[in-house]
Structure 1
Amino acid sequence: MFGISPLGWLHTLGSLPAIPVAFYMFVRHGRIVPRSGLGAVYLVSMLVGASTVFPVAHQPVSYGIGAATILLVLAGYGVGRLPGAGRPARYIETICLSVSAFLLMVPTVSEILRRVPDGHPLVTDLKSPLLLGAQGGLAVLLVAGLAAQMIHLARQGATASS
């Protein structure tokens, strides 16, 4: 179904939980919260998805996205554990994990549009206006979301120091 190999299904189903988990945390907390139960689900799901992209990828850019995702997730989860990291760590953590969610959604949207409906996909060309528009929309959402997150974190810091 959809021309996906068994390893491709492992990749897809392994990374799939990260999407609703990230969405829920963005809505509920305004950011991905790494030190939480859902944060652990996000971490495992992202690592499964990003590490299994290497044997299933068909586009060279996929290797870069997979490597960048792994680095961003590890940085986002690790920066808060550094001694003396303080307030800047929360900004770095938020940026890294938000960009990791963006890097999950770009190929997800691309794959959905290029595979659904089965046998007659909505997009057959990587330069399709629909695909480019969807990816552009994700980029706008990332920039706006990061700006909102930084403002929210700054306000939390100002409230905490008052």
Structure 2
Amino acid sequence: MFGISSIGWVHTLGSLPAIPVAAYMFARHGRIVPRSVPGVVYFASMLIGASTVFLVAHQPVSYGIGAVTILLLLAGYGVGWAPAAGRMARYIETVCLSVSAFLLMVPTVSEILRRVPDGHPLVTDLKSPLLLGAQGALAAILVIGLTAQIVHLARRRQ
């Protein structure tokens, strides 16, 4: 179904929980909260998705997205344990984990548009206006969301 291999299903189903968990944390807390139960689910799910992308990717950019996602996860979850980060830790954590969610959604939206409905996908070309528009909307959401998160964190400090 949808032309997905067995390992592709592991990749897809393994990373799938990260989407609603991230949406929940963004709605509830305005950011991904790493030291929480949903934060642990997000980390595990993202790690599964980012590490299995190397087994299922067909485009070189996918390897870069997977590697950057793993680095962002490690930085976002690890910065809280680094005393040298000090007051900047919350900002670094927020930016890293928000960008990791963006890097989850870009290929997710692309794959959905290129596979659904089964046999007659909405997008057949990577330069499709629908796909480019969806990716542009995600980029705008990232910029606006990161700006709002940083402003909110700065106001909480005052």
What TM-score, normalized to structure 2?
A: 0.99
* Number of equivalences: 158
Give the match for residue 115 of structure 1. 115
Work out the CA distance in 1 between the residues paired with 2:84 and 2:144. Answer: 29
Q: 1:52 Cα deviation (Å)?
A: 0.0
Give the match for residue 60 of structure 1. 60
Is 1:106 the counterpart of 2:96? The answer is no
Instruction: Structure 2: state its 5+ residue gaps.
Output: none
Give the match for residue 51 of structure 2. 51
Work out the CA distance in 1 between the residues paired with 2:140 and 2:23. Answer: 16
* Residue type of the alignment partner of 1:74: L
Q: 1:87 Cα deviation (Å)?
A: 1.6
Give the match for residue 30 of structure 1. 30
What TM-score, normalized to structure 1?
A: 0.97
Work out the CA distance in 1 between the residues paired with 2:132 and 2:97. Answer: 23
Partner-residue secondary structure (3-state), 2:83: coil
Instruction: Structure 1: state its 5+ residue gaps.
Output: none
4+ runs of 1 displaced by more than 3 Å?
none
Work out the CA distance in 1 between the residues paired with 2:83 and 2:105. Answer: 32
Work out the CA distance in 2 between the residues paired with 1:6 and 1:84. Answer: 43
Work out the CA distance in 1 between the residues paired with 2:48 and 2:54. Answer: 11
Give the match for residue 18 of structure 1. 18
* Residue type of the alignment partner of 1:50: A
Give the match for residue 129 of structure 1. 129
Q: 1:57 Cα deviation (Å)?
A: 0.2
RMSD value over aligned CA atoms? 0.5
